[in-house]
A and B are shown apart, each in its own frame.
Chain A
Amino acid sequence: MIAGLKLHGGVVVAILLLLAFAPFIIDWIDKPFYLDLVTRMVILAIAAASLNLILGYGGMISFGHAAYLGIGAYSIGIPAYYGEYDGLYQLAITIIACGSFSLLTGYVCLRTKGVYFIMITLAFAQMMFFALVSIEEYGADDGLVIDLRSELPFGFSLENSVSMYYLCFFILLFFLFIIHRLVNSRFGMVIRGSAVNDSRMQSLGFPTFRYRLLCFVIAGVMCGVAGWLLGNFTNFISPEMMDWTRSGELIFIVVLGGAGSLFGPVLGTAAFVLIEEVLSGFTIYWQLYFGLFLVAVVLFVRGGLDGLLSKFSRSDK
């Protein structure tokens, strides 16, 4: 068992160390392209971690989580379109926009259960998608190009790709810390309890609807921040960012990594980005194999990568 903990913890520590020194390693092997890949991975991991908070711990299967990526990205895109590049200002818009969208939609969605919840979150995300597709002013289908990345205080420049990366990495660590504290607090106990048996939590006297709504909003805002980073990173935003297949991929990442485990989303994202990268270099029909892989993961891998690691650890004691 102790060896097991070592293996599981070891993999997590190794990945975090790799991520912490990624720019130096990439500089050393002289493949600057990989820094883009790793940055994208870290941003996706933030989005996945926020989904994991509601899906993995809260049992709320949101099929519309990519909407927050999109809203976050448009929260820089639209100000930038009007020549406003102040990063904190844009971040405030992101938080307000994602907070109010998740509050409003969450208020409706959380009244429903099971598959209704899956479908209604999907429908709200589609609603945002179609709304942005049809607004000609902000580029409609073609999206918007962002000329300059957000300007941050203290002369911290995002135009430098290494600082961009570290900003993403520290936000990831910060959010993982918050999620860790949240799910182990009384608040988190209520959320996890109501995922298992909502009526029991209610009869214990907890107004679970409010707890779940707040959790939904926190996850939405976190994912919005990931969208803010993504828009900055790609310098280009389009409604495609909140396409429903993006939401599906986020769910897949969470399940692949292991829903309801703190570092699962990080493992899942790493695996997802690597698989995508390898397969798409291999054949243009990579999505065929990717789809089959996804089906296979659902059918044969319970508990995701995180679960697999722990299982191996337990058997090799």
Chain B
Amino acid sequence: MDGALVVVQLLNGIQLGVLLFLVAAGLTLVFGIMDFVNLAHGALYMIGAFICASLTLALDSFLIAIALALPATFIVGYLIERVFICHLYHRDHLDQVLATFGLILVFDTLVHMLWGPAGISYPLPNWMNGQVNLFGFVDFPLYRLLIIFSGITVAIGLYFVIVRTKTGMLIRAGASNRTMISALGVNINQLFRYVFATGAMLAGFAGMIIAPITEASIGMGSDILLIAFVVIIIGGIGSIRGALIASLIVGLIDTMGRSFLDDLMKLFVSNQAAETSAPALSAMLVYILMAAILFFRPQGLFPPKTR
């Protein structure tokens, strides 16, 4: 367990955390304001990646592709809200879960029809490839640093919008008490439509920037969605700050667990026992964390103040 590896894995953990935050932000806002459980949120992550893949391959430019794919996912999110989601607000959670579960099947199959069953990988521009030397002793891929950087930029931007602007104030007010704010003459449904589409765009953005590393594939949305749910539950549903902190915690614990748990366990149990049980245990780590947090604080770490 040398220092360089620890630093690299720490950065990888932060990178995963940033990605989780981009997905969880929309999810937690949608839930916080409209009390709506959206399982189909991960589909936007996948759709963003596929749209960006096609555009990158067609235009031969990753950056232009992202610039075009962002409004495209915004529009997709807006349409999904108009066609399906807006009929489901007044339903109970069971109906919402089922309907959005159905939407996952629909979108996964649509992507299968449009882009085929195999994943699509697309190249980065040359200048984004390569390693950067950090602190004089660690080499870290430049692109992963860029992911961390853009994620943090988005987080700061979101924070600014939510804390410092009038729209943000309305969003926070909507999350605290939706009935009251609509009684005060704010069209909360319309506001919400844009929040939903923005959340969709952020999830799509996360998909676009990770796909050059992992490739765009069917099912990528569901994988990240489940961890994003763990994040918003740990952070407290409806809280952006909670989502940010919980994303970083979950990203770090997951990454560090996968790389160092076996070494750590070898200190306490036999080598063989550590090697067989560490992979299983590290895969369970974030869920154990969630269970522990829910056991002591069933409302999450940073629940938004209500009423």
Contact = CB atoms under 8 A, between A and B. Distances in A.
A134 B277 CA distance: 9
Contacts of B233: 116, 119-120, 123
A130 interface: yes
A292 interface: yes
Contact of B294 (A116, A285, A295, A298): A116
A169 to B, nearest CB: 28
Interface string A104-120: 01001001111110111
Interface stretch (B17-25, B92-100, B127-135): B92-100
A285 B102 contact: no
Interface in A45-86: 55, 61, 63
Contacts of B226: 122-123, 126, 244
A144 interface: no
Contact of B102 (A105, A118, A295): A295
Interface stretch (A90-98, A185-193, A248-256): A248-256
A298 B279 contact: no
Contacts of A113: 298
A298 B104 contact: no
B110 interface: yes
A108 B105 CA distance: 30
Contact of B229 (A122, A255, A285): A122
B91 to A, nearest CB: 7
Nearest to A132: B280
A288 B229 contact: no
Contact of A291 (B94, B97, B104, B280): B104
A240 to B, nearest CB: 12
B110 A295 contact: no
Nearest to B87: A299
B93 A115 contact: yes
B98 A255 contact: yes
Contacts of A116: 233, 237, 294, 298
Nearest to A248: B101
Interface string A286-301: 0110111111011100
A135 interface: yes
Interface string A28-45: 000000000000000000
Interface in A249-291: 251-252, 255, 259, 285, 287-288, 290-291
A118 B279 contact: no
Interface stretch (B156-164, B165-173, B284-292): B284-292
A131 B282 CA distance: 8
B46 interface: no
Interface string B93-127: 11101110111111011101100000000000000
A108 B279 contact: no
B283 to A, nearest CB: 4
A265 B83 CA distance: 30
A316 interface: no
Given A118-B97, A285-B109, A130 B291 contact: no
Contacts of A120: 233, 290-291, 294
Nearest to A127: B287
B276 interface: yes
Contacts of B109: 285, 287-288, 291
B103 A288 contact: no
A119 B38 CA distance: 11
A133 interface: yes
A131 B142 CA distance: 33
Contacts of A292: 102, 106
A124 B98 contact: no
B222 A115 contact: no
14 contacts: A119-B233, A123-B229, A123-B230, A134-B280, A135-B276, A245-B101, A251-B101, A285-B112, A288-B105, A288-B113, A291-B102, A294-B101, A295-B99, A297-B98
Given A135-B276, A294-B105, 20 more contacts: A111-B294, A113-B298, A116-B233, A116-B298, A118-B37, A120-B290, A120-B291, A123-B229, A123-B230, A127-B283, A127-B287, A131-B280, A248-B97, A251-B101, A285-B109, A288-B106, A290-B102, A295-B103, A298-B102, A299-B88
Interface of B: 31, 37, 84, 87-88, 91, 93-95, 97-99, 101-106, 108-110, 112-113, 222, 226, 229-230, 233, 237, 276, 279-284, 287-288, 290-291, 294-295, 298
